[in-house]
Amino acid sequence: MPACEFQPRKYTGPGYEKVWRIRSEHLLKNAPTYYKKPLLIHEGNMQWLFDHRGRRYLDMFGGIVTVSVGHCHPKVVEAAEEQMKSLWHTTNIYLHPKLYEYAEKLLSTLPKKLQVAYFVNSGSEANDIAMLLARLHTGSYDIISFCNAYHGMSMGAMALTAMCTWKHAVPSAFGVHHAMNPDVYRGVWGGAHCRDSPIQTVRECSCTPGECAASEQYYGQLEEVFKYSLPRGRIAGIFAESIQGIGGTVQFPKGLLKKAKELVKSNGGIYIADEVQTGFGRTGEHFWGFEMHGVEPDIVTMAKGMGNGFPLAAVVTTPEIASKAEQALHFSTFGGNPVASAVGLAVLEVIKEEKLQQRSHDVGTYLLQQLAGLRDKFECVGDVRGKGLMIGVEMVEDKDSRRPLPAKSFLDVWEDCKDMGLLLGRGGLSGNVFRIKPPMCITKADADFTIAVLEKALCKFTEKRERLLH
């Protein structure tokens, strides 16, 4: 494990068994914990987490893609502390300077047409408001998102989400339609030249130079939704994650989202980019994920890494679209509060000062290339994909069938990685994708440690499976 000079404080809180009892008896358990025996996390420092015993773990999931610049980054902590000494909260019925300072800095990172921001607390809230703005602006009701998408768990955002795991038997917003998921690894079409990634799928590809055949095929499926599910020439908008997050780091074929926007626009709608996970330099080559698709959205939603773990989210749009919000009074009690604004501003400064976007590109590309080596070595590693530090590793029974690796087998590898000090996320509809989205401060040494642990865990799993087969 790479060296770390930080020493955590001695844990003085309630014992593990007491914490577990309180959780079991008094907290809602609809959200599962990770691992057979969940970790009791005591302290964090940059890319490291420490449990109540003082054991150190490399956090390669970043608090569910939320810790962008590092756990307890000193500059972000200092900004929060300084703001808390002067003003915690007023709500935005008054003016307070930090919000406007932050808004100006944030908007400078986006295309010039996107110049109006509204601050809230979570990605779900942001997507709810984006739906409202799209409908008010266009006067239309119907919205499209992609199968396998995750856009949140509020009653409105749940309609956009298209994974059975995250949809429940309760009424949610009507008027949302789901287009075929353009997954070039597991979908009907796609192959070895279709993704904007240093690592491509090993499937054969029928693309020709400058043209993605899979993109055309999936675009045809999107056209089918317009033909059969929507009023002629009437749509409010389309939502798309620039890379699907909870769905398993799925990347769309080149050129698809640009053509999708043109189709939506020709039918009176707008394009909404969900940058909750892909924003703020995580994809490396660009600050915003939509830039890799060569498309300018009409609305951008953002959260997670925006506040480095502090509740902070936003909707950014054009003045024209924003003007329609006057038709629908809306208020967020805590959105854009002074402390959140100070934290957000500090995060932007750290990303720039420490060149974390460039680090995401350099370390992420290196890590992807090393992970591709594991794919080539192990039959159970079906696909490696992503860009920058937005990475997915899909586990399968075998490369030919691409059947998802059964949960028990996946969990065996996952647990072994944890026991060796490596924390990874889990995603995909079948829960068979390792989600690697660490704080952007990680180093090449951390990437090497990740590969070494994964390789050891995969060797152990492969040997165990071979013994059982024989």
Percent of the chain residues past pLDDT 90, beyond the cut: 90
If asked whether residues 23 and 89 sit together in one domain, one would say no
If asked whether residues 318 and 372 sit together in one domain, one would say no
If asked whether residues 198 and 305 sit together in one domain, one would say yes
> In the prediction, which pLDDT does 79 show?
98
If asked whether residues 48 and 136 sit together in one domain, one would say no
Q: What is the pLDDT of residues 444-455, one digit of tens each?
A: 999 999 999 999
Interacting residues of 128 by C-beta distance below 8 A, sequence separation 6+: 152, 154, 156, 157
If asked whether residues 338 and 361 sit together in one domain, one would say no
* Rounded Cα–Cα distance for residues 222 and 453 (Å): 41
If asked whether residues 410 and 331 sit together in one domain, one would say no
Q: What is the pLDDT of residues 67-76, one digit of tens each?
A: 999 999 999 9
If asked whether residues 324 and 464 sit together in one domain, one would say no
Compute the average pLDDT of residues 348-358: 98
> In the prediction, which pLDDT does 120 show?
96
> In the prediction, which pLDDT does 169 show?
85
* Rounded Cα–Cα distance for residues 423 and 365 (Å): 20
CATH number of the domain within which 367 lies: 3.90.1150.10
If asked whether residues 273 and 379 sit together in one domain, one would say no
If asked whether residues 223 and 361 sit together in one domain, one would say no
Number of H helices, E strands in the chain: 13, 15
Compute the average pLDDT of residues 376-391: 98
> In the prediction, which pLDDT does 69 show?
98
Residue 229, pLDDT > 80, answer: yes
> In the prediction, which pLDDT does 269 show?
98
Q: Is residue 11 part of a domain?
A: no
Count of domains for the chain: 2
Compute the average pLDDT of residues 51-57: 97
Domain that holds residue 21: 16-65+355-469
* Rounded Cα–Cα distance for residues 88 and 390 (Å): 33
Cβ atoms of 123 and 239 closer than 8 Å? no
If asked whether residues 251 and 399 sit together in one domain, one would say no
From 321, 353, 385, the end of a domain falls on 353
Q: What is the pLDDT of residues 318-337, one digit of tens each?
A: 999 999 887 777 888 899 99
From 353, 369, 391, the end of a domain falls on 353
Cross-strand pairs, 74:
none
Compute the average pLDDT of residues 100-111: 98
Compute the average pLDDT of residues 346-361: 98
Q: Is residue 221 part of a domain?
A: yes
If asked whether residues 96 and 205 sit together in one domain, one would say yes
Q: What is the pLDDT of residues 160-194, one digit of tens each?
A: 999 999 888 888 778 999 999 999 999 999 999 99
From 332, 353, 374, the end of a domain falls on 353
Q: Is residue 4 part of a domain?
A: no
Residue 443, pLDDT > 90, answer: yes
If asked whether residues 335 and 265 sit together in one domain, one would say yes
With bands split at pLDDT 50, 70 and 90, how would you rate the model's confidence at 31? confident
Q: Is residue 2 part of a domain?
A: no
Q: What is the pLDDT of residues 235-261, one digit of tens each?
A: 999 999 999 999 999 999 999 999 999
Q: Give all strands of the β-sheet with 390-395 in edge-to-edge order.
A: 381-387, 390-395, 433-436, 425-427
With bands split at pLDDT 50, 70 and 90, how would you rate the model's confidence at 91? confident
> In the prediction, which pLDDT does 360 show?
98
Q: What is the pLDDT of residues 271-326, one digit of tens each?
A: 999 999 999 999 999 999 999 999 999 999 999 999 999 999 999 999 999 998 87
